[in-house]
Each structure stands twice: as C-alpha cells, then as structure tokens.
Amino acid sequence: MIVFSDRYAWDEVETLAVVDDNHLPCLSIPKSSGSPYAAEAIDAFIVALPEKVYYPADAVDRLAPALLKLGPAIGLPPTNDIIIRYFITTGSSYRHFAREHASEFDPKLLQYIMTLPYAQFIWVVEFSTEEQWTNARVEARAVIDATASLREPMPLWLFHSRDGASTARRLARPLPEWVA
C-alpha cells in the first residue's frame, strides 16, 4: 500500500500578498496567526478565471493526489514525501516554458510537448520531493485540460516524469518510443 501525504505548495508559504481595499495597493500578510490579519483566517476568496475554464480548482485538488497512483508506471518513486503544486496556464505558455527549460526534458518528450494539441487553458500539477522543492526541481508534471467539463471522467492529457510518460486515452496520439 502506498501512503501519500496531503502536502501542497501552500504548506511551504510563509507570507501571502493580498489586495485589500483598506490597504492599497496590496498587503503582505503572514500565513499563520500571531497577527490580527493572517492568511489562515481567510474563509473564502475570489479568483477570476477565463470564461473558457470549466474544470475548477477544487476538482484539480481532488484529482492531484489520485494521479500519484500513476507514478510507478512512469518511474515516479512511491513516497510520502511529495509536495504538490498546481496552477493554471495556457498551452502556449507551457510550450514556452518547456522550450526555455529544454535541458530538463528528454528530447523526444520535448518534441512531443511542442506538438501536442493543447486546449487554450490547462492545469499543470507538479510533484516534488521535499529535497527537490528546496532545490527548485520537479519530479513529475501532469497536464490537465482546464476546458474540460466536470463530467469528463479523465481530463488528463499528459503525465510525465524524468523517466517516462503516459497520455490519456482521450488523445489519439501515441507517445514517443522511450515512454510508451
């Protein structure tokens, strides 16, 4: 049995920059109490997402730990020392990131990333061990279609680590040989 900790990038945050009409233009607040205005006291917040984003953050929050079960298939070591971070971006920004960090990707995977037909908006889920996190390294990434409906059984497009990758059945495109 693999045990995963529910540890997210949020656990590593010490302060948060917020926009508050009472403190213009913005305010840096501590994460934990000890001050009358702390991030842990926030009950709700509003994030404006683009009109075409249908797959919400709370669905990604539920899906991210489940993706760790795919880890052994692509070479991700089973561990309870995983930190999860996710964010929304555009397909073109993800390609730009991959191009700028080409040395971190296998050339065949990089070519695949460059030619993958992304939706306009994607969620990227990153998995790092604590040691990798402190060294600004990522062990694996999952790319999720942010324009998918909540009724979509698996909005995952691509899940890759340094050692392998997997695509969802929703893509009719095979992976390069080294990751198949």
Q: What is the pTM of this model?
A: 0.76
pLDDT at 2 over 50: no
Query: What are 129's two structure tokens?
Result: 């061990």
- Do the beta carbons of residue 12 and residue 3 sit within 8 Å? no
The DSSP bridge pattern shows strands 121-129 and 140-145 to be antiparallel
User: Of 86, 83, 97, nearest to 135 (Cα)?
Assistant: 83
Query: How large is the average pLDDT for residues 92-118?
Result: 89
* pLDDT tens digits, 12-58: 778 878 777 777 777 788 887 777 778 787 777 777 788 899 999 99
The DSSP bridge pattern shows strands 121-129 and 82-90 to be antiparallel
Examine residue 25 and say whether the peptide bond preceding it is cis (omega within 30 degrees of 0). yes
On average, the pLDDT of the chain sits at 80
| pLDDT range class, residue 115, cuts 50, 70, 90 | confident
pLDDT at 178 over 50: no
pLDDT at 173 over 80: no
* Domain spans, the chain: 13-41, 57-179
